[in-house]
């Protein structure tokens, strides 16, 4: 089979009128930065990249060295290309402006440079998640408020999982596609076009250690899955939890399943664990474009009006029928 590189794929999509030149260039730049993050990640202890950086991020979490390195790689790669008006990162309090020496474009880039970073030191898959928005007309120095657009306005979203293989999953609103990094050639090659997530599944992902803290409808839903064939669902379910959202989502993109990070009493005051702008919205776009569903348990994630750059929300995503059941339990319990 003739292989199609990411660049070829984007050129063909441009010719078909599904993506414009500036957006496709921006996607290429992000993909190129992620190749550099893959190199740093793969070096592990030999690259001196493991362990704590000795700093904290805006979320008050200790930063790993690779969090800081990945953030810098993405900022540097995207500063000069001319497609961006500004960037926002999970690791930085405020948006980063494009230096005056470079031309500015009309896109906004948001990213979680290294998701699942608690897994770095134990050599488990981690990843980068990104989302691209249009910069509002006439804004030359975008502030946080200009990034606060609902997920439905995303122009593109993607993630790269740094696992046994480095894999990029991408959407710009015309399906979800997967590219695998050919390390010898140095380019991402199309490995799956138009991915479809099965509507039904018997596999779910959740941090079960929080079970006693969940809301009653979540207790009910997971309780029924755990009851298996003897319970009301008449079916056995299997559980997986990598604790790297990219890896858990990639499993769903590959063989179906569901992922939940619900509200619990410990995180209720924060609104949830995962970040709307850097994790929930891009993943929701990717999952919906593959035929899945993504809600907070009560609302479609992509329809939320963001109120803060670092806002957190509950996340339910994956195989459509199961997400509908879990969401229905929450809505009818309210």
Residue 183: CB atoms within 10 Å? 13
State how far the Cα of 206 lies from the Cα of 295, in Å rounded to an integer: 15
The answer to whether residue 62 forms part of the interface with ligand AHG (CB under 6 A) is no
What does residue 298 show for φ and ψ, rounded to 5 degrees? -135, -35
**In 3-state terms, what secondary structure has residue 83?**
coil
State how far the Cα of 279 lies from the Cα of 125, in Å rounded to an integer: 16
Query: Toward ligand AHG, which CB reaches closer, 115 or 203?
Result: 115
State the nearest-atom distance from the C-beta of 130 to ligand AHG, in Å.
Answer: 14
**Contact window for ligand AHG (CB under 6 A) among 7-15, 115-123, 153-161, 262-270:** 115-123
State how far the Cα of 277 lies from the Cα of 302, in Å rounded to an integer: 10
CA neighbor of 69 nearest in space, from 120, 23, 25: 120
State the nearest-atom distance from the C-beta of 51 to ligand AHG, in Å.
Answer: 14
Q: Which residue among 244, 258, 281, 289 contacts ligand AHG (CB under 6 A)?
A: 244
Q: Which residue among 21, 185, 243, 331 contacts ligand AHG (CB under 6 A)?
A: 243
Longest dimension (CA), the chain: 66
- Asked whether residue 64 is marked as a ligand-binding residue, the answer is no
Say if CB 260 and CB 294 are below 8 A apart: no
The answer to whether residue 272 forms part of the interface with ligand AHG (CB under 6 A) is no
Q: Which residue among 13, 91, 115, 215 contacts ligand AHG (CB under 6 A)?
A: 115
State the nearest-atom distance from the C-beta of 207 to ligand AHG, in Å.
Answer: 4
State the nearest-atom distance from the C-beta of 61 to ligand AHG, in Å.
Answer: 6
Q: Which residue among 193, 207, 268, 270 contacts ligand AHG (CB under 6 A)?
A: 207
What does residue 219 show for φ and ψ, rounded to 5 degrees? -60, -45
Number of residues that bind ligand AHG (CB under 6 A): 11
Three-point CA angle 289, 35, 293, nearest 5°: 15
State the nearest-atom distance from the C-beta of 255 to ligand AHG, in Å.
Answer: 18
The answer to whether residue 118 forms part of the interface with ligand AHG (CB under 6 A) is yes
State how far the Cα of 164 lies from the Cα of 57, in Å rounded to an integer: 28
**In 3-state terms, what secondary structure has residue 311?**
coil
CB-count exposure of residue 334 (10 Å: 0-12, 13-18, 19+): exposed
Query: Toward ligand AHG, which CB reaches closer, 135 or 283?
Result: 283
Query: Toward ligand AHG, which CB reaches closer, 61 or 194?
Result: 61
Tokens of 130: 């990104």
Query: Toward ligand AHG, which CB reaches closer, 117 or 149?
Result: 117
Q: Which of residues 273-312 bind ligand AHG (CB under 6 A)?
A: 273
Residues within the interface to ligand AHG (CB under 6 A):
61, 115-118, 207, 243-245, 248, 273
Binding residues for Mg(2+): 90, 112, 114-115, 279
Binding residues for substrate: 115-118, 207, 273
């Amino acid at each position: 089979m003739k292989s199609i590189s990411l660049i070829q794929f984007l050129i063909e999509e441009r010719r078909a009128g599904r993506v414009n030149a500036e957006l496709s260039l921006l996607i290429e730049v992000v993909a190129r930065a992620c190749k550099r993050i893959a190199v740093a990640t793969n070096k592990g202890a030999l690259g001196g990249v493991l362990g704590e950086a000795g700093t904290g991020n805006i979320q008050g979490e200790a930063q790993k060295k690779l969090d800081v390195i990945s953030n810098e790689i993405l900022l540097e790669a995207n500063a000069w290309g001319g497609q961006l008006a500004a960037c926002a990162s999970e690791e930085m309090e405020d948006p980063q402006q494009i230096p005056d020496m470079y031309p500015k474009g009309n896109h906004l880039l948001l990213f979680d440079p290294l998701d699942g970073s608690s897994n770095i030191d134990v050599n488990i898959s981690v990843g980068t998640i990104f989302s691209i928005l249009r910069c509002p007309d006439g804004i030359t120095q975008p502030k946080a408020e200009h990034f606060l657009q609902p997920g439905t306005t995303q122009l593109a979203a993607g993630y790269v999982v740094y696992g046994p293989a480095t894999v990029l999953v991408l959407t710009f609103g015309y399906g979800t596609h997967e590219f695998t990094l050919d390390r010898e050639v140095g380019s991402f090659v199309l490995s799956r076009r138009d991915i479809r997530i099965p509507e039904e599944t018997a596999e779910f992902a959740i941090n079960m250690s929080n079970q006693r803290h969940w809301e009653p409808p979540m207790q009910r839903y997971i309780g029924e899955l755990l009851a298996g064939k003897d319970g009301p669902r008449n079916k056995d379910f299997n559980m997986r939890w990598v604790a790297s959202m990219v890896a858990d989502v990639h499993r769903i993109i590959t063989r179906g399943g569901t992922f939940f990070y619900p509200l619990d009493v410990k995180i209720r005051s924060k609104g949830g664990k995962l970040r709307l702008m850097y994790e929930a919205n891009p993943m929701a776009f990717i999952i919906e474009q593959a035929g899945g569903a993504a809600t907070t348990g009560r609302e479609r994630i992509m329809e939320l009006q963001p109120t803060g750059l670092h806002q957190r929300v509950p996340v339910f995503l994956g195989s459509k029928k199961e997400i509908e059941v879990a969401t229905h339990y929450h809505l009818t319990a309210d």
